[in-house]
Amino acid sequence: MNEKKAVGEKAADYVKDGMVIGLGTGSTVFYTITKLGRLVQQGLSIKGIPTSLQTEKLARELGIPLASFKEIDHIDVAIDGADEVNPDLALIKGGGGALLREKIIAKAANTFLVVADSHKLVDTLGAFPLPVEVVPFGMEMTRKYLEVLGGSPKLRQNNGSPYQTDNGNYIFDCSFQKITHPGELERDLNLIPGVVDNGLFVGMADIVITLNRQKEIDINMRK
C-alpha cells in the first residue's frame, strides 16, 4: 500500500464546494492536490493558496484556480505534510524548504489538516533536523546563537551553493537530538535576530491523518 497516497487522498474529503484551500508542499500532500485537481475537473469550485512556487506550478498544471491574500480574507482548510509528528500533534516541518509560507498559511486557516505516513509519527521530536529560516545578512552570528540554544546547525546546500527559499533566505538544518519542550524552543528560536521563523509548528495542527499499525486510516484530533 502507498501510505502517502492513501492519507493524501483522504484529506481531500475535507474540501467542500466554495472553500479556500491552503495547498501544502511535499510528497504526501502531492496526492491531495492531485485528487483536488481531478475533483475540480469534475465541477468542484475552490480557490487554492499555494505554500511554494513548486506547489503553485503543480496547481496550475492541474487546473486548480489560485488566489492570493489580497483577494481573500480567510482560508477554510490548509492541508500540508510534516517531517515529524509527536503525540500532542506538534510538528517539525520545512524539509521541503517552504516552512515560512506554510506557517503563514496554517495560521490563517480555520482548520489546519496534516497528512503524514506512519513513519513520521514519533514519541519525541528531534531526530529530523529542525529547519530554521534565516536572513543571509549576519548568518554567521545567527549560527552562533543557534548553537547557544543547543543546536548543531548545518547550512543547507543546493548544488554547492547555499539553498535559497522562495523568500530569498537561507536555511540552517539544526540537530537538537531530542526536543522535549517544542513550544519553548520555537519561541526562543524566533527571538534570535536574523531568524525569520523555524519549522516547529506547536498547537497549530487541528487534524492529523495517518495510518495505524493495521494500515487503516487513522484520524487524530487536537485535544
Spell out the domains of the chain, with CATH numbers in brackets.
3-118+202-221 (3.40.50.1360), 130-197 (3.30.70.260)
Q: Is 16 labelled a binding residue? A: no
Q: Are 76 and 51 in contact (CB under 8 A)?
A: no
How many helices (H) and strands (E) in the chain?
Answer: 6, 15
Residue in the block written with cell 519542550: 181
Query: The pTM is what?
Result: 0.95
Active site residue 102: yes
Q: Is 180 labelled a binding residue? A: no
Q: pLDDT tens string for the chain (223 positions)?
A: 689 999 999 999 999 999 999 999 999 999 999 999 999 999 999 999 999 999 999 999 999 999 999 999 899 999 999 999 999 999 999 999 999 999 999 999 999 999 999 999 999 999 999 999 999 999 999 999 999 999 999 999 999 999 999 999 999 999 998 999 999 999 999 999 999 999 999 999 999 999 887 778 989 988 7
Q: Which of 102, 133, 147, 216 is catalytic?
A: 102
Q: Is 142 labelled a binding residue? A: no
Q: Is 59 labelled a binding residue? A: no
pLDDT of 216: 86
Cβ neighbours of residue 196 under 8 Å, at least 6 residues apart?
100, 133, 134, 135, 167, 169
Q: Is 27 labelled a binding residue? A: yes
Q: Is 205 labelled a binding residue? A: no
Give the residue among 30, 57, 59, 35 at the shortest CA–CA distance from 47. 59
